[in-house]
Amino acid sequence: MSAQNELQATVDALAQAGKGLLAADESGPTIAKRFKTIGVESTEENRRAWRTLLLSTPGLGEFISGVILYEETLGQQADDGEPLPQLAAHQGIVPGIKVDTGKIPLAHASGDEITQGLDGLAKRLEGYKAQGARFAKWRAVYNVSDTLPSRLAIEANAESLARYAAICQEAGVVPIVEPEVLMDGDHSLTRCAVVTEAVLHEVFHALNRHAVVLEHMLLKPSMVIAGKGHALHASVEQVAAHTVAVLGRTVPPAVAGIFFLSGGQTPEEATANLDAINRTGRRPWPLSFSYGRALQESPLDTWCGQPQNVREAQLALLKRARLNAAASLGCYDANEEIV
Ligand code: 13P
């Protein structure tokens, strides 16, 4: 298959109407933090057990088209010896891989951060592909205050995202471009809208400079939402209106799909907001989900590291996947939360 056909086939497999992505690519420190909430130690075996539980959920492929994995998981196996990326593929779920190596403070820009991982990326992608990964993810983060993010942070992170995306496409791997405007802080919805618009403008300028084919990439943005510490809680309609306005001004129609991150919203909020976004009318791109916490929180609480809870936890995951799939079509029924 030519590189272009390979990228197109992966995009088509990921951007299916009524399906979204599962982000299960927590780094070592992050998964340890999640496990701590249920009193489970983050050992390699516990991480394998948890991610096997997620990927072996019967019927998950009905609502989930792709899963983002962490490097360690690519090399792990289910109890019966099947490699976990293959287990996902057997469910009709495309395996992908987080390829950035995390964030550090941005030099000469107090309070801003920059994501690392470009060195040796082309070589690493060869290995990930051989292990079954067909798409990748790189997350840039933007802290928000009255003065943050700085122009420097907006430009530097856009440049890195674009370099990453170009390297992926050259390797026949579909890049998910993830610029996350953080919910931490007490900023308003309007401030988040201003920052998100500036961030996305810069990201698409950089993607253009690096000749990234928009049809062969996916965008994973944050929704336009007020900071967690802000006094006013915006309605789902306000979040939806601001989010689609900002995306409409910044994201070219050629982009194959937009898959939101949940970013610390509660599972129910993340579903309700996605639903409201899809009720605002037809858009040039599918608007779906690529949730980590908002999909995993309730199954994780149900599992608690106990083998006898696996089935129940899988049902909890399936429920959130099903409700988010409905929300991606604008037909989520909040009454289903209570059954
Ligand atoms: P959340 O949905 O928990 O924000 O995770 C998505 C993700 O992949 C963050 O990089």
pLDDT digits (tens, 9 = 90+) for 73-94: 999 999 999 999 999 999 999 9
**Which pLDDT value is given to residue 11?**
98
Q: Is residue 293 in contact with ligand 1, taking CB distance under 6 Å?
A: yes
**Terminal Cα distance for the chain, rounded:** 46
For residue 132, name the pLDDT band (cuts at 50, 70, 90): very high
Q: Which atom of ligand 1 is nearest to the CA of 262?
A: 2
For residue 181, name the pLDDT band (cuts at 50, 70, 90): very high
Active-site residue, 237 included: no
Mean pLDDT of 175-195: 98
With a CB cutoff of 8 Å and minimum separation 6, the contacts of 305 are 35, 38, 39, 40, 46, 49
Q: Which atom of ligand 1 is nearest to the CA of 68?
A: 8
**272-331 pLDDT per residue, tens:** 999 999 999 989 999 999 999 999 999 999 999 999 999 999 999 999 999 999 999 999
The proportion of the chain whose per-residue pLDDT surpasses 90, expressed as a percent, equals 97
Kindly name the residue from 178, 180, 197, 202 that is annotated as catalytic: 178
Q: Whose CA is nearest to atom 10 of ligand 1?
A: 139
Q: Whose CA is nearest to atom 4 of ligand 1?
A: 263
CA distance 3 to 172: 5
Q: At the top level of CATH, which class does the domain 3-338 belong to? A: alpha beta
Q: What average pLDDT does the chain have? A: 97
Active-site residue, 220 included: yes
How far does residue 181's CA lie from ligand 1's centre (Å)?
A: 12
Q: Is the pLDDT of residue 217 over 90?
A: yes
Q: Is the pLDDT of residue 3 over 90?
A: no
How far does residue 103's CA lie from ligand 1's centre (Å)?
A: 14
Q: Is the pLDDT of residue 69 over 90?
A: yes
Mean pLDDT of 225-233: 93
How far does residue 262's CA lie from ligand 1's centre (Å)?
A: 6
Q: Is residue 320 in contact with ligand 1, taking CB distance under 6 Å?
A: no
Q: Whose CA is nearest to atom 8 of ligand 1?
A: 23
The proportion of the chain whose per-residue pLDDT surpasses 70, expressed as a percent, equals 100
Q: Is the pLDDT of residue 339 over 80?
A: no
Q: Which atom of ligand 1 is nearest to the CA of 295?
A: 2
How far does residue 2's CA lie from ligand 1's centre (Å)?
A: 31
pTM for this predicted structure:
0.98
Our mutation pick for probing the ligand 1 site, out of 291, 295, 297, 298, counting the most ligand atoms within 8 A of Cβ, is: 291
